Amino acid sequence: MVGSENLILRIEGIRSEDDRMEVKRVLENINGVSWVCVDGTAGTAVVIFDPDETLQDELINAVMEAGYTVKRFFNS
């Protein structure tokens, strides 16, 4: 995709399906995010976003503000 980046977040605190859905909803509500997949078992979220519309720090901060801990992140 032109104008898109992938971000993989390692997240602590996803303990239930409700947590998984909350993280997905928080990320999907950010401008520039086109796709989100949250794996609660692995504790990861993959986000495809437009870096011209949002910064990866905004994605990480949104997850942290929702009460979860971002342990690591990878750009690909």
One-letter amino acid for residue 60 of the chain: I
pTM given for the model:
0.91
One-letter amino acid for residue 71 of the chain: K
Domain parsing of the chain, residue ranges: 16-39+52-69
Tell me phi and psi for residue 24, to 5 degrees.
-60, -45
pLDDT tens for the 76 residues of the chain, in order? 568 999 999 999 999 999 999 999 999 999 999 999 999 999 999 999 999 999 999 999 999 999 999 998 887 6
One-letter amino acid for residue 58 of the chain: E
Tell me phi and psi for residue 64, to 5 degrees.
-65, -40
Residue with tokens 């692995």: 42
Instruction: Encode pLDDT of 30-43 as tens digits.
Output: 999 999 999 999 99
